[in-house]
Amino acid sequence: MKRYKNVSGDSGVRGYDPSDSSIDVKFKDKSIYTYNESDIGTKDFQKMQRAAEKGKGLATMISRDPEIRNGYSTRRKGAK
C-alpha cells in the first residue's frame, strides 16, 4: 500500500493501492475500502486514481459524491 501524501494535512485517507481496475483506500481508522472501476464508472475511477497520486482531494471526493461513497465493493475493518 502506498502512503497517501495528504497535501492538505487533514485528510482521513492514509494510503492507497491502485491496480488497473480497482483502488483500495485505507482510512485513518485502518479500514480499507475497495472501489472497482466497473462499480463506480471509468470517469470516477480515473478521478480517484489521479487524486490518490496527487495526494489531494481523495477523501473529499469520496465523501461528497454519493456514487463513489456508496460504490465500494468491499470494506475491511481494522486492517493493519
Residue with cell 480499507: 32
Look up residue 17 and give its amino acid: D
pLDDT score at 67: 94
pLDDT score at 79: 54
Look up residue 80 and give its amino acid: K
pLDDT score at 78: 73
> Quick check: helix, strand or coil at residue 31?
coil
The per-residue pLDDT string of the chain (80 residues; one tens digit each, 9 = 90 and over) reads 999 999 989 999 999 999 999 999 999 999 999 999 999 999 999 999 999 999 999 999 999 999 999 999 999 997 55
In angstroms, rounded to a whole number, what is the distance separating the alpha carbons of residues 30 and 32?
A: 6
